Every structure is written in C-alpha cells, then in structure tokens.
Amino acid sequence: MATQTEDRMISEKIASVLVARTLGPFDLVVIFVAIVLFIINSAGLQAAGPSVFIFWTVAFATFLITGAFVTAQLGRMFPEEGSLYVWTHKALGPFWGFFAGFVAWWPGPITMVVIGVLVANFLQQTAAFFTCSGKPCAILTENWQIGIVVLVVLWFSASMSYLKMRVTQNYVNVQFFAYAAAIFLIGFAGVVWLLKGHPSATSFGSGWNPFQGDKLALGVPANLTFFSFAILALLGIETPLNMGV
C-alpha cells in the first residue's frame, strides 16, 4: 500500500523548497484589497440606487464569507502547496486538477491586457484637462497607439516579475497606500460637497426595492443584474484566499 508520502505530487514536494514563504498577513490583506476593491465599479453600481446596499450585503453573506470558510476548510484538509490545483487533483484527478489550475490562471493575462487599455483611457482623460489649439487635448486616438500602451504595461509587469517576491510586494504595498489615499480623497470630496448644502446624487428616500426595473428574459427584474455585478466584483477573492492557505 502506498504511503501518504508516496502519494504526494512532485509539485507538493518541491514547492516549499523552491518558493520561500515571504508574505505576511498584511501582505495578503493588501493583495486582497488590490484585487477585490476596484473603485471604478462604484460608477457602474450607481444606477441600482440604494438597493445596491442590499445586493452587497447578500453577496458578502452568500459568496465572500462562505467562500472564505470553504477555502479555510480545504486549506486545513490539504495543507500542501498548490491550493486550488491540489484540492481538485486529489478530489477529481489530474486532468481536472490541471483544468482548475488553468482556468484560475487564464484570466490573469486577459486582465493585464484590459488594465493596459484602462491605463490608455486614463491617459486620454488626463490629457483632456489640458488645452491644445483652444480645444481639449486628444491623445492615443489610434488603435496602434493604445496597443503600444498595452505593450508597455505588459513589459512593465514582466520586468516586475523578475524581481524578488519581497521587493515586488513592497512595491504593491506602496501602491496600496496610494490607492487608499485616493479613495479617502474621493470620499472626503463627497462629504465636503454635502456639507456645502448640495444634494446627494442618489436619493435614499426611494429605490430600495431590489426587484425594481424593467423585466428581462424570463421575467427577471433588471435591477437583479446588479447582484451579479456585486458577485463579479468579489471574484478576485480566489487569489488572496488561496495564497493564504
């Protein structure tokens, strides 16, 4: 009969030797916030009105918190390095282990391209604050120019991957504080706006019904689509939770 040591995969045996544990609890919190908290999602949720608070509460209760408990339990059952890949491999076999690992990795490269497009969009918006020949400046108007920005973002990310994990994480930690400062300034600006007597952009006197809106396919209220938006915004928990087990 094979022993437990013999049943271990090669990746389980060498991972702890090749990859040292360099991340602490604060580092994992930073990664969690950086992946999950996309402040730009707030703009897409405004149309839901006050009912968005209901969707966030339900999403946290049914997805975020439950996902944390499930991940913690799996981490205790299978403490080996590899998390999602190891769990699926041991439960369903090598093919599904590879499949789970691949589909968990594949969104990463796609997201990096999307982030490159977002960087180009931010540069375009920044340029619009300046004047060129009496008109707002327009840059990156051609697709090939946006493509160059995407390539620069990819090259920068690739260069960061060559650094030691601790150095890269220190850079991420600095970005975390910059991100937190930006979010604080946005919130502070909103408070100042209200204190000056301006009305809130969202009326909290109505709009709490999560089933409001036009009917979509199968009679589903349009407002319920914001629940899927909330779940989508929380999908990033997979990475930091798996890293923390």
In a domain, 84, yes or no: yes
pTM of the model: 0.71
Q: Give bridge partners of residue 131 from the DSSP assignment.
A: 136
Number of Cβ atoms within 10 Å of the Cβ of 77? 11
Structure tokens given for 166: 């601790």
In a domain, 80, yes or no: yes
Calpha distance 33→186 (Å, rounded): 17
In a domain, 135, yes or no: yes
3-class DSSP assignment, residue 93: coil
- The pLDDT of residue 105: 84
3-class DSSP assignment, residue 78: coil
E strand residue ranges, the chain = 131-132, 135-136
In a domain, 234, yes or no: yes
In a domain, 49, yes or no: yes
Contacts for 201 with CB less than 8 Å, ≥ 6 apart = 46
The whole domain housing 118 covers 22-244
Residue 137 contacts residue 130 (beta carbons within 8 Å): yes
In a domain, 43, yes or no: yes
In a domain, 12, yes or no: no
pLDDT by residue for the chain (245 residues), tens digit each? Answer: 334 444 677 766 666 666 667 788 888 888 878 777 777 777 777 778 888 889 889 988 998 888 888 888 888 888 777 788 888 888 898 899 899 889 888 888 888 898 899 899 999 999 999 988 888 898 998 999 999 999 999 999 899 888 888 899 899 899 899 989 988 998 899 899 999 999 887 788 887 888 887 777 777 787 888 888 888 777 777 766 666 55
Structurally, how many domains does the chain consist of?
1
Structure tokens given for 115: 């982030």
In a domain, 11, yes or no: no
